[in-house]
Chains A and B, each alone.
Chain A
Amino acid sequence: MRTLKFRSLFVASAVLLAGCQSGNVANAPGTPTAYKDPGTRGLVTGVGIESQDIITMTDKMMRDMMTTPGLVGRAPAPQVLIDATLFENQSSQRINKRLITTRLRGGLQRAAKGRMVFVSRRALDAILKERKLKRRGKVDVGTTGFTRAVAGVDYQLRGEIMDQTKQDPNTGAIERYNMINFEMLDMERGTIIWSGLYEFVKAGQNDAIYR
């Protein structure tokens, strides 16, 4: 009789423990991470510059540049510098400017197929170091041979990111006018040979946090 009582108590405890455990564990799959089309508005959207804006903007600018005879119709091909340091973020939002310049430079480089030559100044220290090593005979000449100097820049792409935000104090609704200006500057004559403007307004009840 005593053994039976003990056994019943044991079973009851086990059931209770199991009950506790199932109460704490949400045994269900979480929301799966999903790939999204970067050219389309995503799940989290605010009033700032987002992937779809960057893709549309850089695509538009690239195509516009590729149809500008002064830029792509020249022989020899112009030497162009596109660098994030030449882009000024005057807006109130956080944005990695390289998202714009890298996409633009990459797209143009693929599209131009030699009709524009792109100069890198980010790697200037590494380039100068390699040139020195070659000239001192520490390494061989490579296969492209020597040049008198590194490439100079004919045209430099400059840009500004600007915005104006307004918020309704009663409802909290927020609206932002974003404007991104691009200018291709002739580095000898100081003239602007091409310019492009991309602007849009976004409004919403809440803004997203951009990091």
Chain B
Amino acid sequence: MSIFKSLAVAAIAAGALGACQTVVEPNPVCDFTKVQEARDNPSSGPVLVSLVPGAHTDMPLNTVNITDVAVTNKILLQATNAQRTETGNVRVWARMVNCTDFALQLEGRTHFLNAGQAPVEGVTAWKRVFMSPRSIGTFTDLSIAAKDVETYLIEIREGT
């Protein structure tokens, strides 16, 4: 009987120890509620507005629009920016975070617009970005036009 008692105590102790062991989730841990909050409280900057007031929400420029619901809750935009190259063209980049435990394939393209928000050139071709699980991936694009480019809008969708 005492052997059974000892075994039971050992089992309880092992169970308790197991519970103490915390599973550390790999970084980054993503919170998509913040995305909606940020969308509800947009920061100032250039936006594409609807021709019919209120018909669609404002589309912020100089940022990334994730156009595909298949990935809107899988990836997060970490940073985006643009800079002039030596030849005056504009190089844009967007760094994204894969919040899932799976490899993802994305495709991105860029609209380059002038000060009047008219397209300076045709939209770029879709380019692929491969993202390992819980990793960052960077999409880059280059404009053909130089001085006319004032704003940009990157579109991201799931690659097939």
Contacts and interface: CB of A to CB of B under 8 A. Distances in A.
A66 B144 contact: yes
A67 B128 contact: no
A41 B105 CA distance: 14
Given A40-B126, A52-B126, A60-B127, A73 B141 contact: no
A67 B127 contact: no
Nearest to A73: B87
Nearest to A38: B125
B132 interface: no
Contacts of B160: 40-41
B126 A39 contact: yes
Interface residues of B, number: 16
Contact of B124 (A52, A63, A72): A63
Interface in B80-104: 85-87, 89, 91
A153 interface: no
A56 B142 contact: no
Contacts of A60: 125, 127
B125 A66 contact: no
A7 B89 CA distance: 86
B85 A67 contact: yes
5 contacts: A56-B126, A63-B141, A63-B144, A64-B142, A67-B85
Interface of B: 85-87, 89, 91, 121, 124-128, 141-144, 160
Given A56-B128, A111-B144, 12 more contacts: A39-B125, A40-B126, A40-B160, A60-B127, A62-B144, A63-B124, A63-B141, A66-B144, A67-B85, A67-B87, A67-B89, A200-B128
Interface of A: 39-41, 52, 55-56, 58-60, 62-64, 66-69, 72-73, 111, 200
